[in-house]
Amino acid sequence: METILVSLICIALIVFGGMTMSQGFMTTVDTSTTGLEDVRERGETLIRTELTPVSSSLTAANTLEVILENTGQAKLADFDKWDFIIQYYDDMGTFHSTWLPYTSGTLGDNEWGVSEILLNGEAEIYEPNVLNQSESILLVAQLEPAVGDNTTNMVVIATPEGITASTYFTR
């Protein structure tokens, strides 16, 4: 009788332990699968996202305009999370490599913002403040100190997804 009681307790502990281990295994598999799904979705977004520089020019010694076109299939927004990095020479020949913060209001020194989003040269109507496929965006940056004469300079724009567009400009 004593052996039967001990055997029943051992069997109950084995069943309980097996169920606990299988529950832990299932939780781990579920977490891993969710993580893989996130990686897949991010990869699909990266494949469908592309920015193409159209032009860049200085409208004044310290105002830079950059036009980019969304040639990918993904919509782009959250401009405050974009990176705007400028590399240029000033009038004294000093090299500047600077990350500029985004502003949605009036531009201050060393800030950038979105001036307008266009579709075929017309102001966008569908989904304002979202850069859809085939739309162009005009980015404006205020630089201090001013860009030097007879210099070749570069601007790099990067989205939160890691898509970059770079272009050169001269003065």
At 60, which CATH number? Answer: 2.60.40
The verdict on 2 and 37 lying in the same domain is: yes
The verdict on 87 and 166 lying in the same domain is: yes
Average the pLDDT over 32-42 and give the result: 72
Enter the tokens of residue 167: 């272009």
What is the C-alpha to C-alpha distance for residues 140 and 142, in angstroms, rounded to an integer?
Answer: 7
The verdict on 78 and 154 lying in the same domain is: yes
Q: Are 48 and 72 in contact (CB under 8 A)?
A: yes
The verdict on 122 and 60 lying in the same domain is: yes
Q: How many domains does the chain have?
A: 2
Task: Give residue-wise pLDDT tens across range 110-138.
Answer: 999 999 999 988 988 889 899 999 999 99
Which residues, at least 6 apart from 129, have a Cβ–Cβ distance to it below 8 Å? Answer: 77, 79, 114, 117
What pLDDT score was predicted for residue 43? 66
The verdict on 30 and 89 lying in the same domain is: no
List b or e across 130-163, with b for residues whose CB sees 16 or more CB atoms inside 10 angstroms.
Answer: ebbeebbbbbbbbbebebbeeeebebbbbbeeeb
pLDDT, greater one: 36 or 136: 136
Task: Give residue-wise pLDDT tens across range 75-117.
Answer: 999 999 999 999 999 999 999 999 999 999 999 999 999 999 9
Is the pLDDT at 157 greater than 80, yes or no? Answer: yes
For tokens 């770079």, what's the residue? 166
Report the 10 Å Cβ neighbour count for 6.
10
Domain that holds residue 78: 51-170
The verdict on 44 and 55 lying in the same domain is: no
The verdict on 23 and 98 lying in the same domain is: no
Give the C-alpha distances (Å, rounded to integers) separating 6 from 11, 34, 39, 127. 9, 42, 50, 71
Report the 10 Å Cβ neighbour count for 85.
15
